[in-house]
């Protein structure tokens, strides 16, 4: 059976970038400049700001995906984790 009109068929929207971001709480986005999702992270930050969300975007030099996991050996990773703690303290208490 052939579908005559498939204009109502749309792929699922999986990316938060394409969602309504209004009403989100304060966001901290940390991303490495070698991260495969760098562009997605910066676009998410921009879209959230456009929606009125308070966004802190940290782009870490020479860091990669999930660099935080190396906090025991990479000083930048430990600093990023420390920044998460400060962010939570400032915004949650």
* Angle at 14 (CA atoms; ends 31, 88), nearest 5 degrees: 40
- What's the N-to-C CA distance of the chain in angstroms? 59
Tens digits of residue pLDDT in 30-40: 999 999 999 99
Residue 84 has which token pair? 């998460």
Tens digits of residue pLDDT in 60-86: 999 999 999 999 999 999 999 999 999
Reduced to 3 states (helix: H, G, I; strand: E, B; else coil), residue 30 is strand
Tell me how far apart the alpha carbons of residues 3 and 40 are, in angstroms, rounded to a whole number. 34
């Amino acid at each position: 059976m052939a579908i005559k009109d498939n204009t109502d068929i749309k792929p699922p929207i999986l990316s938060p970038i394409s969602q309504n971001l209004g009403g989100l709480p304060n966001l901290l986005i940390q991303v490495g400049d070698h991260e495969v999702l760098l562009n997605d992270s910066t676009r998410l930050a921009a879209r959230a700001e456009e929606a009125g969300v308070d966004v802190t975007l940290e782009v870490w030099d020479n860091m990669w995906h999930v660099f935080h996991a190396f906090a025991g050996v990479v000083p930048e990773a430990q600093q990023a984790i420390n920044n998460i703690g400060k962010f939570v303290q400032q915004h949650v208490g």
